[in-house]
């Protein structure tokens, strides 16, 4: 849930995630803002109050994660010859100058054409846009495969540049997927596709939900753990 509070003239937006936990955790994510994890029973005004109290500290946390990301990008620019993970395999990025953005997988190389191959930002944006198209195609194929098996069809399917999630399911049954799933091993992508499809039966993470996932993919925990271990790659 998105929320916002005003403290000393400063507006602080945050995403609230309430669950069975017993304490409150504040987290700053690059590009994704402040997250607050709080117990289910806590009143919103109390949580808002805690955020207001920590306004300066949270702003500082946010600034420091953004600065770390920027420094990391400067230290590791994406250039011709850089490694790039596609479908769980390490490939080599090859850059070409051309009027139109296009990406093509040739053996173990990913050939990327764009107008400004010398700009790190432009290269990152071209990787994102070309691989998003590949991701959408692959995800649609896997949805077509698994939807009849799960016994539910999704509504709208979209690729999002989500900062901290691999996939999500809305109450209306629309599914969103992170484009970076195309970097993960195919089984990890399948796991997320199955996970979101199973939410069309169970809009929760109950034992009944996990039984549905397991019925489709008995070894799902392996890929669930893989994705958890690679969440940091979402900030590439
Ligand atoms: Zn879920």
Contact between residue 207 and residue 200 where contact means Cβ atoms under 8 Å apart: no
**116, 107, 108, 134: which is closest to 78 by C-alpha?**
116
**84, 127, 130: which is closest to 108 by C-alpha?**
84
* Predicted pLDDT at 236: 56
Q: What is the pTM of this model?
A: 0.77
* Predicted pLDDT at 71: 85
Question: How far is the centre of ligand 1, averaged over its atoms, from the C-alpha of 136 (Å)?
Answer: 19
Q: What is the pLDDT of residues 12-50, one digit of tens each?
A: 899 999 999 999 999 988 777 899 999 999 999 999 999
Q: What is the pLDDT of residues 88-127, one digit of tens each?
A: 999 999 999 999 999 999 999 999 999 999 999 999 999 9
DSSP 87: T
Return all residues near 59 (Cβ < 8 A) that are at least 6 apart.
10, 12
**Fold of the 83-235 domain:** Zincin-like (3.30.2010)
DSSP 43: -
Question: How far is the centre of ligand 1, averaged over its atoms, from the C-alpha of 113 (Å)?
Answer: 36
* Predicted pLDDT at 8: 83
Q: What is the pLDDT of residues 137-163, one digit of tens each?
A: 999 999 999 999 999 999 999 998 777
The residues spanned by each domain of the chain are 2-75, 83-235
* Predicted pLDDT at 155: 95
**231: β partners:** none
Question: How far is the centre of ligand 1, averaged over its atoms, from the C-alpha of 19 (Å)?
Answer: 13
pLDDT exceeds cutoff 90 at 235 = no
With cut-offs at 50, 70 and 90, classify the pLDDT of residue 164: confident
């Amino acid at each position: 849930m998105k929320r916002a509070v005003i403290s000393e003239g400063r507006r602080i937006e945050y995403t609230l995630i309430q669950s069975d936990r017993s304490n409150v955790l504040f987290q700053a994510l690059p590009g994704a803002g402040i997250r607050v994890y709080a117990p289910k029973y806590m009143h919103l005004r109390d949580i808002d109050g805690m955020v207001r109290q920590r306004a300066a500290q949270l702003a500082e946390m946010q600034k420091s994660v953004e600065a770390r990301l920027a420094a990391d990008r400067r230290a590791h620019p994406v250039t011709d010859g850089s490694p790039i993970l596609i479908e769980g395999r390490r490939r080599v990025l090859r850059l070409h100058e051309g009027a139109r953005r296009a990406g093509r997988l040739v053996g173990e190389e990913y050939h990327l054409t764009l107008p400004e191959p010398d700009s790190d930002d432009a290269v990152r944006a071209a990787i994102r846009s070309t691989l998003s198209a590949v991701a959408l195609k692959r995800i649609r194929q896997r949805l077509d495969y698994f939807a009849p098996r799960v016994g539910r069809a999704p509504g709208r399917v979209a690729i999002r540049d989500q900062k901290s999630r691999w996939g999500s399911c809305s109450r209306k049954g629309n599914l969103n997927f992170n484009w970076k799933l195309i970097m993960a091993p195919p089984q990890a992508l399948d796991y997320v596709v199955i996970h979101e499809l199973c939410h069309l039966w169970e809009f929760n993470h109950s034992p009944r939900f996990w039984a549905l996932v397991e019925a489709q993919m008995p070894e799902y925990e392996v890929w669930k753990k893989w994705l958890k271990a690679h969440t940091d790659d979402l900030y590439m």
